[in-house]
Every structure is written in structure tokens, then in C-alpha cells.
Amino acid sequence: MNIHSDCRPTIVREKELFIRLKAKTNDKYHRILEAAIKVFAEQGFFQSTISQIAKEAQVADGTIYLYFKNKEDILVQFFSYKTKQVFERFRQGVDSQGSAIEKLRSLIRRHLEEFQQDRNMAVVYQSETHQTSRRAEPQIRAMSKMYMDIVSQIVEQGQQEGSIRKELYLGLVRRFIIGAVDEVINTWLHAEKDYDLTSMADPLVDLFVRGIGVDDRD
């Protein structure tokens, strides 16, 4: 048995991993990533080509393959890198607040702010998370869990504080909050007139806390 031939695949994989890790510190990597998201947002994932991405990033077509395997790999790395950064900022915003309601307000406001500041990211994120067949399923699942965990912690704190009703089913409250924010973003993306997305933050939190019914027991 040739031990050198057995070791070669491992050496090749390690070399490829090293190259990819080094590439992520390169300005071209980030430029290509941002260019790809812009093209995906404007053209749609299926209609987008490597040539379009290269042109937007102002690099040669072949340069793309130094950093990414293909279009799918770009999308996966977008979810792994870009949106992970955003969700970390969500967490920072929540942790900076005290009460559950203020944490919820901070989360919703930061969510809307981040998507408004980067419309291309918002378009791609909303499009991919609503696909039946997701091209970045593990990454999307990881981000969804991260977000749902934050909301769950806020709701549980609110129930302990007495600001959120204790008898409410946590899963239902969580879906209510996430679904409402998702719909507000979708409406903003497809609106004929541009408007301030973050202006919807306080009305959303007010709706979450107060509901739509009138309490006639007083």
C-alpha cells in the first residue's frame, strides 16, 4: 500500500481549507460576496450568472472560483457570514436592554434597521427563506433557531416579570411575533412607494403587547 497516495486527499483538503480561510480576509472575497447579493437581488438567483457577478465585483470570471465553488457556494457563504453578523447585532441590541418589553422593542427596531440599510440582503434573505427548496437549508435553519431562541428568552422573561401573560403558549407567541415582522418586511419590499421601515417598529411592539381587542372588564 502506498501511504503517500493515501495521505494526498487529506493534504489536498487541508490545503483547500487553508486557501478558503485565507481568502475570507481578502478584500476581493467581500467584494465578490456583496456583488453577488446585489445581482441575486436584482436578477433572481436562477437568472444570475458568474459573469454578471464578476462584472459587478470588477474582477475576472476566473477570480470568482478562487474564492467560491459556484453560485450556490456564494449563497451559502452569504448566509454563513453576512447574516450571522446581523444576527449577532440583534443579540447585542437585546442584551443592552433591561426589561423584556424594551428587549423586544430593541430586537424589532434593530431587525428593521438592518434590513432597511441593506435592501439587497433583505431581498435575498426573504426570497430564500420563503423557498420550498432552500439552497442554504442548514444555514437558514441555524439562523432561524438563533432568532427564535432570542424571542423565546424575551417572552419567558416577560412572563416572569408579569409584562407578558403567563398562560400564553410560547410557540404561538413566537410565531406571532416572527410572522408579523416577516410580513412587515415583505410589504415594505414590494411597496410601490418607499417609506421608513423602522417607523413600523413601535406600532408592532404596541400591537404585540396590547393586542387588538378592548378589555371591557375594567
Please tell me the distance from the alpha carbon of residue 18 to that of residue 87, in angstroms, as a whole number: 26
- Residues spanned by CATH 1.10.357.10 within the chain? 72-211
pLDDT tens digits in sequence order for the chain, 218 residues long: 444 445 455 555 554 554 554 555 578 898 999 999 999 999 998 899 999 999 999 999 899 998 999 999 999 888 888 777 888 888 888 999 999 999 999 999 999 999 999 999 999 988 888 875 567 777 778 888 888 999 999 999 999 999 998 888 888 888 899 999 999 999 999 998 889 999 999 999 999 988 877 665 55
Give the 3-state DSSP-derived string for the chain, with helices as H, strands as E and coil as C.
Answer: CCHHHHHHHHHHHHHHHHHHHHHCCCHHHHHHHHHHHHHHHHHCCCCCCHHHHHHHHCCCHHHHHHHCCCHHHHHHHHHHHHHHHHHHHHHHHHHCCCCHHHHHHHHHHHHHHHHHHCHHHHHHHHHHHCCCCCCCHHHHHHHHHHHHHHHHHHHHHHHHHCCCCCCCCHHHHHHHHHHHHHHHHHHHHHCCCCCCHHHHHHHHHHHHHHCCCCCCCC
pLDDT for position 202: 94
Architecture of the structural domain at 1-68 = Orthogonal Bundle (1.10)
Domain 72-211 classified CATH 1.10.357.10? yes
pLDDT for position 189: 93
- Residues spanned by CATH 1.10.10.60 within the chain? 1-68
**How far, in Å, are 1, 5, 13, 73 from residue 9 at the CA level?**
15, 8, 6, 21
Task: Indicate the pTM of the whole model.
Answer: 0.79
**How far, in Å, are 19, 29, 30, 40 from residue 58 at the CA level?**
21, 12, 12, 16
